[in-house]
């Protein structure tokens, strides 16, 4: 009986692992969200997490004006790719508390990029 239970638990674990692998993290990076990331290139204040994350990547790639601890990524080098960030964030399941911290504070966040969504967490 223990052998059967052990095999069932192992199979369930492998199934979950293969599902995670099927989703496939395609890129990941960590970055400090600073006041500089909360102002658009045209000077307007950004008030949602997706736009703030997008500006963070524009500051990194386009303006070479990143925060000291910002890491690079291979995904958001172009304006078209960065334009997808808010929708990718909306498609994911980032915790609301994380989104509030991005808007209201200066957290150090890590971003996992999947083909159809982002997952962001405070590190």
User: Is a pLDDT exceeding 80 seen at residue 7?
Assistant: no
Q: Show the domain range for 58.
A: 24-122
The pLDDT tens digits of the residues spanning 72-119 come to 999 999 999 999 999 999 999 999 999 999 999 999 999 999 999 999
Closest CA to 34 of 110, 98, 105: 105
What pLDDT is recorded for position 23?
72
Element (H, E) at 49: helix 49-61
CA distances from 8 to 3, 5, 16, 17, 34 (A): 9, 5, 12, 14, 47
Could you give the CA distance from residue 71 to residue 60 in angstroms, rounded to a whole number?
Answer: 9
Residue 76 lies in a domain: yes
What pLDDT is recorded for position 103?
99
Asked whether the beta carbons of 46 and 40 are under 8 A apart, the reply is: yes
Domain count, the chain: 1
Residue 67 lies in a domain: yes
The pLDDT tens digits of the residues spanning 13-68 come to 444 444 445 579 999 999 999 999 999 999 999 999 999 999 999 999 999 999 99
Could you give the CA distance from residue 75 to residue 39 in angstroms, rounded to a whole number?
Answer: 22
pTM value surpassing 0.75: yes
Residue 88 lies in a domain: yes
Cα atoms in the Cβ-side hemisphere of radius 13 Å centred on 62:
15
What pLDDT is recorded for position 1?
54
């Amino acid at each position: 009986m223990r052998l059967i239970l052990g095999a069932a638990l192992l199979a369930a674990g492998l199934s979950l692992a293969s599902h995670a692998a099927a989703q496939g993290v395609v890129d990941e990076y960590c970055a400090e969200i600073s006041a500089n990331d909360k102002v658009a290139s045209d000077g307007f204040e950004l008030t949602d997490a997706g736009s703030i994350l997008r500006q963070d990547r524009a500051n990194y790639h386009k303006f070479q004006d990143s925060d000291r601890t910002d890491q690079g990524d291979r995904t958001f080098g172009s304006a078209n790719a960065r334009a997808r960030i808010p929708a990718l964030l909306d498609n994911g399941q980032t915790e609301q508390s994380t989104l509030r911290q991005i808007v209201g504070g200066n957290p150090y966040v890590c971003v996992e990029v999947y083909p159809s969504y982002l997952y962001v967490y405070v590190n």
